[in-house]
Amino acid sequence: MLVSAGGLALDGLIWRKPANPCFLLPGRVLQARLRTRIRAAFRDAGLLPRVPSRVWSMPWVAHVKRPRCGEPALRYLARYLFRVAIADSAIEHADHDRVTFRYVESKSGITKRCSLTLHDFLARFLQHVLPSGFVKVRAYGLWSPACRDLLDDARRLLVARRDALGGRYFVPLTPPDPLPPSTPRICPLCGRGKMVILELFPRQRAPP
């Protein structure tokens, strides 16, 4: 799950940051909430009796971590979301008994090699294959296809705020319209007709 540290205001002209720059969401509350929601899903599916009762009373772990910057997080996710578990070029040897492949250790950055039995290799590979009917990626909020315009607005706002001078914290996306709302203006679509703004509605998130 990837969550943005902030969001657009209802008028779409301001990027709102969290009230505390060092705090986005409570990890311990998320742990309990996650456990409750998963338990409810098991109950609704009629699978709750198959799970030991102690699972629902023990503390769960919700790994919450801020990425150092967006690009490494994007590369990490892209390898898992839009590529297969392992590239063919990484497999150095394969026969009916064993498979040898190379990988880069994340902590040291050193290229290493691993040799597994064919059964163990297939077991690891199939952990990256989704069952039929499962959706790999679900997008909500600004990442939803219905909110592409809002996402473009947010990107421009963040660039404007980064490049702002004079200590301005928020920078409007566009300069204020000098014309009063009742003044006829050229239609932005056809470029010929005239329109009059009667009322402005704040942008809302599209329904799922």
pLDDT string in tens for the chain (208-residue length) = 777 778 888 877 788 888 777 777 788 888 999 999 999 999 999 999 999 999 999 989 888 877 666 677 777 777 777 777 788 889 999 998 999 999 888 788 899 999 999 999 999 999 888 888 888 888 888 888 888 888 888 888 877 766 654 444 443 434 445 556 566 777 766 767 777 777 666 555 444 4
Please check whether residue 43 lies inside any domain of the structure. Answer: no
Q: Could you tell me the pTM of the whole model?
A: 0.45
Please check whether residue 27 lies inside any domain of the structure. Answer: no
pLDDT number for residue 181: 58
pLDDT number for residue 172: 41
Please check whether residue 95 lies inside any domain of the structure. Answer: yes
Please check whether residue 112 lies inside any domain of the structure. Answer: yes
pLDDT number for residue 171: 38
Please check whether residue 122 lies inside any domain of the structure. Answer: yes
Please check whether residue 98 lies inside any domain of the structure. Answer: yes
Residue-number span of the structural domain to which 93 is assigned: 85-127
Token look-up 């660039």 returns 159
Backbone angles phi, psi at 152, to 5 degrees: -65, -40
pLDDT number for residue 25: 78
Please check whether residue 14 lies inside any domain of the structure. Answer: no
Q: How many folded domains does the chain comprise?
A: 1
Please check whether residue 23 lies inside any domain of the structure. Answer: no
Supply the DSSP string of the chain, one letter for each residue: ----SSEE-TTSS-EEPPSSTT-SS-HHHHHHHHHHHHHHHHHHTT-GGGS-GGGGTSPP-------SSHHHHHHHHHHHHSS-SS-GGGEEEE-SSEEEEEEE-TTT--EEEEEEEHHHHHHHHHTTSPPTT--S----GGGSGGGHHHHHHHHHHHHHHHH--TT-S---SSPPPSS-TTS-EE-TTTSSSEE---------PPP-
